[in-house]
Amino acid sequence: MSETTKQVSGQRAGATAVKSAIITSKTDESRQVNVAGGFIEFRYYESILQDGIMGFYVFADTGNSIDKKTVYEGLPLTGSEPFDFVAEDNFENELKVRLLVSKTAPLSDKPGKSAMILPLVSEAYAINDTKNVRKFFPNQKISDHVKSLITDFLLSVKTLDIEETSNTLKEYGLNRKPYYMLNTFAKKAQPSGGEGKTAGYFFFETAEKMVFKSIDSFFDEDKNPRKKSIIYNETPDGNKDDLPAGYDYKALTYDKSNANVMEMSKMGAFSTASITFDPLNFNFKRTVLSTIEDIVEDVDEAIEPLTTAAKELIGFNANLIKEFSRTTMNFLDTGAFGETANESKENNFDFGGIYNQSIMRYNQVFASQVNITIQGDFSLHAGDMIFFDAPSPQGKPNTENDEIDKQTGGLYIIASLCHYITPDRTLTKLCLIRDSFGRQGNHAKR
């Protein structure tokens, strides 16, 4: 249950201009129908934990849409048709996205009029289900393998936002799906400068691009400049003149929750052990990493200080943990890729270091979570950085330094978003996360 929940009514979020919602026949590209005229509702989703974008479009099918028939009959609409949606928010930001109709789902079916809901998925999502990776990936940087998977297997023409990795890897496709391979590479990727410190990437899709970036880069404002500064107070419907200096707008709803520290510990957020077996010499090796100062003397390696979004990583009572809390076991692939005797003896991947580091980092990034609703803003995307402030529980609802929540306020990244559009209003729901606690920086700084 959320630690704090606040909500207000009377939200001021004007209607969005839906320019077009065109469905194209999958057998005849010249047959198209614009269903924007019967528009009822559109929900669009992005997430750093979601491989592809998705949405739901609801419209009234009047029965005279195409060839004097309903869209369902006249197109006909049976699934996998391209769906092109274009809308503009009240900030003049445009949401332009192509999706595919995954199936048709009538909401009502009355003579002369019916309501349809169209579940929508990305083209890459659909292609992933029909494509298998049967390829050997040579000893190259993981970021190069990712480019190949996105362009050659997912056939994406979107802009690529791929952060170069520092480590290389050999891998067989083994008839696996592209998404599976991309997420496998994400867990094994290490950014430049991450050696001995951190690892782990996120792969996901937005309306504009395909993203493969390190966890650390998302929380680094130099690499991921903030998009907006947002504040919540008890009068989010006030006049624009009431907006405190340095903020772009006010949140309409606000809800915060902190991670379960005990569960984080169980999943290896603070200390992990990796046991590997080398089939070449039948050796077992244990590697332990830890962020807890009290037990670093008993581990193989302590994690160096990280660049975090806020002041410090979540703490844990060291008296409750005396050694590693999570163990992974892996077989090394020594000898699986070498063309010469010396290459056959080389280890292809560092499970004890990189894989353990990524486990810890993935479990740290959701330490603090804030859910807010704002007026529709199509310029925002999953992975963007936001500065958010809320009033102190003991202070007045303004932004004086002694009256804002110094524990909750600060930089976050957008873990997921939903644009909710109806003929009457447009809202954007944001789930904001970060790896640490304590307000750091200033809301007015860009």
Per-domain residue ranges of the chain: 8-126, 130-216, 223-260+366-437, 262-364
- pLDDT at position 399 is 46
- pLDDT at position 8 is 38
- Both tokens of residue 305? 């200080």
pLDDT band at residue 405 under the 50/70/90 scheme: confident
pLDDT band at residue 372 under the 50/70/90 scheme: very high
Higher pLDDT, 285 or 195: 285
Q: Let me know if the fold of 130-216 is the same as that of 223-260+366-437.
A: no
pLDDT for residue 353 is more than 90: no
Over residues 262-299, the pLDDT tens digits come to 677 767 677 788 888 888 788 888 877 776 655 545 55
Helices (H), 129-260: 142-148, 178-188, 215-218
Higher pLDDT, 116 or 98: 98
pLDDT band at residue 394 under the 50/70/90 scheme: low
Q: What angle do CA 205, 207, 212 make, to 5 degrees?
A: 25
Strand partners, 26: none
- pLDDT at position 404 is 79
- pLDDT at position 280 is 79
The pLDDT > 70 percentage for the chain reads 79
Cβ distance 244 to 399 under 8 Å?
Answer: yes
pTM for the structure as a whole: 0.87
CA pseudo-torsion sign 102, 103, 106, 107:
negative
Torsion angles phi and psi, residue 242, rounded to 5: -80, -10
- pLDDT at position 362 is 86
Over residues 45-84, the pLDDT tens digits come to 999 999 999 999 999 987 777 888 888 888 989 999 999 9
Mean pLDDT score, 107-136? 87
Mean per-residue pLDDT of the chain:
83
- CATH topology assigned to domain 8-126: Thrombin, subunit H (2.40.10)
Residue 6's nearest CA partner among 377, 440, 415, 393 is 393
**Helices 356-364 and 178-188 sit at what angle, rounded to 10 degrees?**
100
Residue 373's nearest CA partner among 320, 319, 428, 416 is 428
- pLDDT at position 115 is 86
Over residues 296-338, the pLDDT tens digits come to 455 555 555 555 555 456 655 556 666 677 788 888 887 777 6
Helices (H), 231-340: 261-266
Over residues 136-194, the pLDDT tens digits come to 999 999 999 999 999 999 999 999 999 999 999 999 999 999 999 999 999 999 998 87
Mean pLDDT score, 7-12? 41
For 174, other C-beta atoms within 10 Å of its C-beta total 12
pLDDT for residue 417 is more than 80: yes
The pLDDT > 90 percentage for the chain reads 48
- pLDDT at position 13 is 59
Cβ distance 46 to 52 under 8 Å?
Answer: no
- pLDDT at position 400 is 46
Mean pLDDT score, 385-392? 90
- pLDDT at position 12 is 47
CATH class of segment(s) 130-216: alpha beta
- pLDDT at position 318 is 59
- pLDDT at position 17 is 83
Q: In this structure, what DSSP letter does residue 251 have?
A: -
The helix/strand count (H/E) of the chain reads as 8, 27
- CATH topology assigned to domain 223-260+366-437: Elongation Factor Tu (Ef-tu); domain 3 (2.40.30)
- pLDDT at position 414 is 98
